[in-house]
Every structure is written in structure tokens, then in C-alpha cells.
Amino acid sequence: MSKQMYWEMVLILAELGVRSKFKVWIGKKNRHVQEKLSSGFTLNYLPLPEDLERIREGIEQFDILWFRRNRILYHFQMVENNRPSPTLKSYSDELIKSSPETRRILVIPGGPGQAGPFANLIDDIETGRYDYWDYLYFNDLKEYYKNPDSLINLPPGEKIYEEKAKVVEVKFDFNEMDSPKKPRHCELRLESPLIGRQIRPGQFLQVLCTDEQYPRQFDYRQIDSPAQLSQDRQKWEETQILRRPLSLHRVYCRNFSPKFLKETNHLPVGFLRLLRPGARVGVNILFKLTGKGTNLLAESEIGESVDLLGPLGNGIREVDRQLKVVYLVGGGIGIAPLFAIAEHLRRLGKETKVLLGVLNKRSIPLGKLCIHKHSPDLSVEPITLIDEFREIGCRVTVGYEEQGMTAVDLLKGKLEEERVKGYFKREELKVYSCGPPAMLKEVARLASAELIDCEVLLEGRMACGVGACLSCAVEASERGKGGRYLNRRVHRKICTDGPIFDAREINWEQFALS
């Protein structure tokens, strides 16, 4: 890295920190940076704790801290010689011990597709071999510095992988009224680095539910008699079931703290778009136990592998910069894919409100965890799904149908409140929804009446997940020039055209009957 680029990197981060109303620390040895800053920007020098100051004393490289109220919130390191300085990394590790809410960010020279000698470092970050760090490219940072309103799009991956994912955590909940107790919902955390790095909120996976001990093809050569042939053939057929399409519940980032997402309001939305999450080493899937396939899948043990095909389908569209408040409306197990969307929105600093409709308190997915298994090297405390939403900074409201309050009623009340009090303009609001067809139809109608943008996640029976079998086709309106929907009817495939759709596109009269 050239000296000019290095200085430019330091100065940009210092000025951006001050612009964002942070106090900025760049080390005692480098106070002459102040002379190079634009007029009107003043750095704040506060002493570090003695142990950190002692470690920092022998370090010549720049690093920058952004803090508020004496709380260190962001630690930036500039990368030289393909790797951060080992001494600087040790200092950062000590910093995290004393201030665990600090978010660590590596600034990498170049831009996407231009990593060159830094490619191995990026691979280490994304696969979790370098603890948890976010990273950003210097070219993106420079573009944002020149034009804070610039939009940096992060393109989704285009590859589809078949991957053996290792089970590292299992959660169950039970209905207390059942005797004997039977699990109702299951969440699996799967270590799948290939898919984890590519998948986006709104996409899904095709999951093979059968045990590894059952072959995919029936071997006739080991059969001695017709009776044995019939018996073994029937036993084999009982184990052969299609893959199950299951939505992404969340991306598993090793050593990632949800507190980072609770603090995103400190940063401008444009800057948050630059940050690329590191250590995306797996996925979580949350599903309801409804039949043979999901029950077999729920029997997975820690350390076993599950065969995944993905990522499939399209993720959510680019989030508009002017968007301020987003409502996530879920019905029952339809809340599962909304968590990944919530995490993405919180990364962008959007105010996120979750509205969940269920039959009663006992029906909340993972509302009460009775079993929680995880690998020995993973320290995890049992936590409910509602608490997980709140932990990343979402506001959660639950409506119970037995008390006459549905998710649609919750949304209607919230939108009425927004309209009467005039908190936000319509273009600053958006709705994402997933749940039963009848609920989605009402959410779409309500959003249309209020002229609010609404995207829905549809589910349907599908054999392949890649657009070949046509079993998940739905009737929709053709999209004309300028994005307007015409009266001409076409068919869309949930697996390849969706599962995310604009609510205006779907023929709800037909879909709600499915």
C-alpha cells in the first residue's frame, strides 16, 4: 500500500468519525494528523486504560477508535502487507476483552473483485478463521466520502451448491398440553461455509431429510429371494422422500454479537452499507414438525451432517435509502424467514417493528425452549425467538387470535397510528410479510389501500426448487414498462421468480384458496 493511500485512508476515517458525531482516537504518536484534517474537524484525545496503552506503545501503525460517552464502539484497522500487524491484532483482542461491545472493522485496499494479494485475508475473514471482523473496501469508503448519498449495492451470489452441513446446535419447543410431549418446532444451526457466504435474506434451501445410512439408489444385487426383495424394497421406499424447501432463518456468523445490531443507529445508513459481514460460516433453519420429512430432520444429532442445496430463489430487493421504518408481519411459522430480513435491516440502521400473529401464547415458535443442545465448543444460553428479535434492536408486538387480535389487526393499528400522528411519509414505510395465504391477502390489501410498498414471501409445494417441475407456479400480473402491473395474467414460479414478490403482482383471489 502506498503512503499516499495510507494517509488518505486515515484522514477519511477520522473525518467521517467526527462527521458522525463520534469522538475519534488515533494514538498519541500521531497528533500531527490534526494538521492534515479539513478545517472545522477536531479530534478528541482521551487516555486509554493503562494495560491497553502499554500494548499500544510499541505499535507504529495507525488504528482508529470511534467512541461515545467513553464507550468504544468501533475499532478500525488498516491492512498492510496482506495482513494486519500481529501486534495490532493482539492489542485489538485485549481491547475486545475490556470492551466486548466494540465492533472491529478491517479496511482493505482496492475494491470488490480487486482484492489481489488480500484475497486470502478476505477468505479467512469470511470463513471465521480470523475471529469476527466486519470489513470494507477502501474504494467503497472513498466513494462514500466524496458522495455520502451514493448507493453501494452488494450483489448476491449466483452459484448454487450442494453441501454437507454439520449440525452444531438444535433447539426444540413443546406444547405443554400434549401428553406425551411432542416437539412442535425445531431450529437447526448448520455449519455450511459455502452456502453461508452466498445466501441472502429471503432465499431458501432444499434440505435432504433422510438419514445418511439410507442409500439413494436401491441395490438389487444383494437380494436372495422374492419375499426379501418385496420387504427390502418397501423399507427402502419409506426412506426416499423429496427434499424439503426451508427458508433461511438467519445467517450464522461465528463470534458475532447481536449487540452490534442494536448499536447501528449510531452510524449513517450510507456508511452501514459499506460494511461487509465476516465469518459467515453457516445458516440456521427454523421449521414446524408436520410430517415424515421434518420429523426425520428434527432427529439430527450434534456432529451429524445434513445435505443442503442452495442458495435458491431470489432474496429481498435493494432496500431504499429513504426508508425509515419497516414492518415485518408474520403468521405462525411464517415468522421464520423474517428474522434474516430483520438482521439485514438492522445492519442498515432501519427501525424495524415485528408484528406476530399466533393462535395463543403456546403457539409462538420457540416461545418456550424445553430442549437446547449445542456442541461443546459453542457457549449458548437458551433464548426465545421473541427475545432474539429484541436483542438485535427490533420492537416486537404479538397478537393472539383467541383474544381476537391477528397480525393484520396489529398492522392496521400501527399504520393508523403512523397516519394520524404523521410520524412518517408513506414512502418512508415498508412492509414485509410471510404466513398463511389468507393473511398475506389481507396484508397486501391493507398495504395497497395505504399506498405503502409491500413485499411478500410465498411458500408452496415444490419437488425440485430450481424451476423444472412447475409444481409451485402461481398466477400473477404481467409487469409492463415503468414497473406497472398489467391486467394480463402470467404464471410465476415461487422457486425461481420468488419466493419474494411484490404484493401487487400476485392474483390473491386464486392464491388465497390454495
Q: What is the pLDDT of residues 331-382, one digit of tens each?
A: 989 999 999 999 989 888 888 999 999 888 878 887 765 566 655 544 455 5
Whether residue 476 sits in one domain with residue 353: yes
pTM of the complete model: 0.80
Angle at 193 between CA 191 and CA 194, to 5 degrees: 130
Whether residue 298 sits in one domain with residue 442: yes
Domain assignment present for residue 214? The answer is no
- Angle between helical axes of 138-146 and 3-19 (0-180°, round to 10): 50
Domain assignment present for residue 187? The answer is no
Whether residue 445 sits in one domain with residue 298: yes
pLDDT tens per residue, the chain (514 residues)? Answer: 566 777 788 788 888 888 778 878 775 444 555 455 544 445 555 556 566 666 666 666 667 888 777 777 888 887 766 777 777 777 777 777 777 778 888 888 877 766 567 777 777 777 666 666 888 888 888 888 887 655 444 444 568 888 999 998 888 887 666 656 678 889 999 999 888 888 889 999 999 887 554 444 444 445 555 555 566 556 555 555 788 999 999 988 877 777 778 766 566 666 777 777 777 788 999 999 888 888 888 888 888 999 999 899 998 888 887 888 999 999 989 999 999 999 989 888 888 999 999 888 878 887 765 566 655 544 455 578 888 899 888 999 999 988 888 999 999 998 888 877 776 677 889 999 999 999 999 999 999 988 899 999 998 888 888 888 888 898 888 877 766 777 788 889 999 998 999 998 998 887 766 6
Of 116, 131, 146, the one marking the end of a domain is 146
Domain assignment present for residue 361? The answer is yes
Q: What is the pLDDT of residues 214-271, one digit of tens each?
A: 444 444 445 555 555 566 556 555 555 788 999 999 988 877 777 778 766 566 666 7
Q: What is the pLDDT of residues 277-302, one digit of tens each?
A: 777 788 999 999 888 888 888 888 88
52 and 103 in contact (C-beta within 8 Å)?
Answer: no
Phi first, then psi: what are they for 52, rounded to 5°?
A: -70, -40
Whether residue 319 sits in one domain with residue 436: yes
pLDDT at 217: 46
Domain assignment present for residue 175? The answer is no
Q: Mapping DSSP to helix (H, G, I), strand (E, B) and coil, where does residue 21 land?
A: coil
65 and 24 in contact (C-beta within 8 Å)?
Answer: yes
Domain assignment present for residue 461? The answer is yes
Of 89, 115, 146, the one marking the end of a domain is 146
Per residue, the 3-state secondary structure of 438-463, as one string, reads HHHHHHHHHHHHCCCEEEEECCCCCC
Domain assignment present for residue 167? The answer is no
Whether residue 261 sits in one domain with residue 138: no
Domain assignment present for residue 254? The answer is yes
Residue type, 474: V
Of 84, 115, 146, the one marking the end of a domain is 146
pLDDT at 376: 53
Q: What gap in Å lies between CA 174 and CA 356, rounded to an integer?
A: 19
Whether residue 429 sits in one domain with residue 302: yes
Supply 495's cell numbers.
422457486
Nearest CA to 364 out of 185, 187, 202, 188 is that of 185
Domain assignment present for residue 213? The answer is no
Whether residue 296 sits in one domain with residue 413: yes
Q: What gap in Å lies between CA 307 and CA 300, rounded to an integer?
A: 12
What CA–CA distances, in Å, run from 514 to 138, 446, 473, 506? 50, 20, 11, 13
Q: How many domains does the chain have?
A: 2
Whether residue 139 sits in one domain with residue 267: no
pLDDT at 69: 74
Supply 239's cell numbers.
426412506
CATH of the domain at 437: 3.40.50.80
Domain span holding position 116: 3-146
Supply 1's cell numbers.
500500500
Residue type, 55: I
